[in-house]
Amino acid sequence: MPLAPEIQNTINTWLTPEYDAQTQTAIRELVASGQDDALTDAFYRTLEFGTGGLRGIMGPGSNRMNRYTLGMATQGLCNYLIQSFPGQQIKVAIAHDSRNNSTEFAQIAAGIFSANGIIVYLFEALRPTPELSFAIRQLECQSGCVITASHNPKEYNGYKVYWNDGSQVVAPHDKNIIVEVNKITSVSEVKFAADNSRIISIGADIDALYFAQARKLSIDPAAIQRQHDLNIVYTPIHGSGITLVPGLLREFGFTNVNVVETQAVPDGNFPTVQSPNPEEKSAMQLALDQAKATNADIVLATDPDADRVGVGVKNDKGEWVLLNGNQTAALLTYYLLSARHRAGQTTSRDYIVYTIVTSEILGDIARNHAVKSYQTLTGFKYIAGLIRDLEGKEVYIGGGEESYGFLIGDFVRDKDAVSACALVAEMAAVAKDQGRTLYEEMVRMYAHYGLYVEDLISLTKKGQRGAEEIQEMMAELRANPPATIAGLKVVEIRDYKTGRIHNLHSGVETETGLESSNVLQFITEDGSKISARPSGTEPKIKFYFSVKQPLKSVVDFDLAQRLGHEKIAAIIADMKLQ
């Protein structure tokens, strides 16, 4: 079957002298070997510059992450910055993680910014994403970017864009940048010729400033001093966390930090894991094995750009288990609010934030401590936006999302696994100081607030047809919403795309109060919450499940947890998602 004419036209453009010989050779090899499916996927569209930037498989093609798609996006961003800050000397900061081509992509972006008359602060080597956010604010930059594809497989890379408050771009800048990027229709419009006089190398100086701020987050340094030899196993999973996490743990006072050596060296091939994602047990297995062999107290892990944290603990049977993102977020919220209360640090203006698909226990904990809580759409840029809106009026304590991201304090404006690792370790030290493990602390928390059990299913739908299938699934759920789920009556439908909440019992409709987002939620009569959300960065549609089980005593934890998972399994089966 011949290639579609528009795809062939795009391929022909990429075979002109505007593109380098290596790119042209790779395309010709695909053509010669008759790989029409691969060519279609690489050229059927332009890699979309979304509200957060770019992310895609690396390789030649308009729908791939390469110097040209990166270059056109960067030129569009430059044009928007020049429009937005007329007459000003514009400054940007750039960081990158350990992925293949990340260093090269960071240098290409730096060159384009500099060629447009912009001062560039370029990290000398890989650094965590949260440090990029910190550097933007510290250096008073108007923007910044980080080259990373977060926890995606090794074939991917990406480009996340930040604004002058250190957060990922939000309205109106996100849409306005997209407009400018889409105006760049030819690589000839990209200024690739770097002005090296405008590129300034940064590194250890920013590290020291970050550490100085992060140290202030510690609430109970005396407990750390007593438990300084807490046995911590840490893995950066071949990523940028190695540059800061062990150092910050030492700055907090921990003297027994043991790095998983086989995963300590940054490597974009991620040779010891299938996927460098701390949400997956396989990525954490080497750390868990080392923890078991050395009788560790806690396992900590970060993804390649060190904005997500994975935590392993020993349960009451002596088995090593992984906390999910909701459990970690709940424990951190529980610790921050209770420890601040004990230390006399609370104020009447304190608040926490969590997203609409994160466990409702965070709100319960905040209410119990007379602390205000807010919910935002999924994505840390919304949490950062709320911090910006409330700056000077209320006091941000912490916020998190189920996908292993948490931020303590507001000197960074994106999820920060570096500081989260330090606070999780402090939390474990405080628990040990009181004769308990972190697992026991978690069970005590759930016994107080009730057990929330959560799970997530991600359905991957690749390519052009996959994207269409995801849209069809959402359209079907909207057109024919379920009346019951697993025998439970649906009593409320929340459609964040239309901004409407429909109470099926009273018939009353209210507004979500949030900006439009393609998310659907079904609330059942027992309070269970099922959410459907296409991913904004991956070819996936995600279904989130949250049920609440009564838990009167810590001794009933295992039974209540099993019943909760059985309820979720029944929901998944009824919705035919597996």
pLDDT at 240: 98
CA separation for the pair 143, 137 (Å, rounded): 9
224 alpha carbon, distance to own chain's centre:
28
Longest dimension (CA), the chain: 72
pLDDT at 525: 93
Residues (pLDDT < 50) of the chain are none
What is the DSSP code (8-state) at residue 411? Answer: S
**pTM greater than 0.85:** yes
**What domains are there in the chain, each with its CATH number?**
45-201 (3.40.120.10), 210-449 (3.40.120.10), 452-574 (3.30.310)
Q: At what angle do helices 204-215 and 245-252 cross, to 10 degrees?
A: 40
| Nearest residue to 464 via CA among 51, 48, 67 | 48
Host H or E run for residue 209 = helix 204-215
The length of the chain in residues reads: 578
Report the 10 Å Cβ neighbour count for 127.
29
DSSP assignment of 296-317 equals -SEEEEE-TTS--EEEEEE-TT
- Which residues are catalytically annotated? 150
Task: Taking the CA atoms of 522, 523, 524 and 526 in sequence, report the sign of the dihedral they define.
Answer: positive
pLDDT at 333: 98
pLDDT at 537: 61
